[in-house]
Amino acid sequence: MHIELERRYAFDGIEPNTLWSRLKDVQRIARCIPHAEDVYVEGSILKAKVKPPYSFIRGRLSIESEILSIDEDMKQLKVKVKGSSIGSSFDAMLMISFMQDCLIASVVADTHGLLRTVPRSLIQKVTEDAADMFMSCIKAGISVG
């Protein structure tokens, strides 16, 4: 199943340059991946085991992501993400862009195996919830120091 999503996040009083620098820091973002265990970071590559609290994903989900490009002038970040579990997998491309008053996160993903049978609306909701948890963590980390 092919899915395309876009989510906008207000800066909420956070200096955009500070938010930008934190989103490029793979060590920092590793701490904000929802339900992550066994996180490993090397350079621009992040690997983790994720135990999502959803019945349609069996066992742990192995995630691997890599920052493919960073455009400092346009403040755009492109990240490739792959995930797999027992009988399920996905491939996704995440693009984070800064506008004057918000951050835009766009995702293009393809699901495979058992995930193809999960309704699009459920996959979308789970993806949006995970993105919201991630951004709340990033913002909280910035506001406290």
Distance separating alpha carbons of residues 112 and 66, to the nearest angstrom: 20
Reported confidence tier of residue 2, pLDDT bands at 50, 70, 90: very high
Residue linked to tokens 């609306």: 121
Distance separating alpha carbons of residues 51 and 36, to the nearest angstrom: 7
Beta bridge partners of 64: 47, 82
> What's the token pair of residue 53?
């609290």
State pLDDT tens for residues 78-134.
999 999 998 889 999 999 999 888 999 999 999 999 888 889 999 898 888 888 888
Task: Give the start-end residues of each E strand in 1-145.
Answer: 2-10, 36-42, 45-50, 61-71, 76-85, 88-98, 102-113
Reported confidence tier of residue 142, pLDDT bands at 50, 70, 90: low
- Check residue 112 and give its pLDDT: 93
The residues, any chain, with a CB within 8 Å of residue 78's CB and separated by 6 or more, are: 67, 68, 69, 70, 93, 94, 95, 96
The secondary structure element, H or E, covering residue 120 is helix 120-143
Reported confidence tier of residue 144, pLDDT bands at 50, 70, 90: very low
User: Residue 13 above 90 pLDDT?
Assistant: no
Residue linked to tokens 């579990």: 85
- Check residue 45 and give its pLDDT: 92
Residue linked to tokens 């490009």: 69
Instruction: For the chain, give the percent of residues with pLDDT over 90.
Output: 39
> What's the token pair of residue 34?
């929802």
Beta bridge partners of 47: 40, 64
pTM given for the model: 0.84
Could you confirm whether domain 2-140 is CATH 3.20.20.450? no
State pLDDT tens for residues 43-90.
989 999 998 887 777 788 899 999 999 998 888 999 999 999 988 899
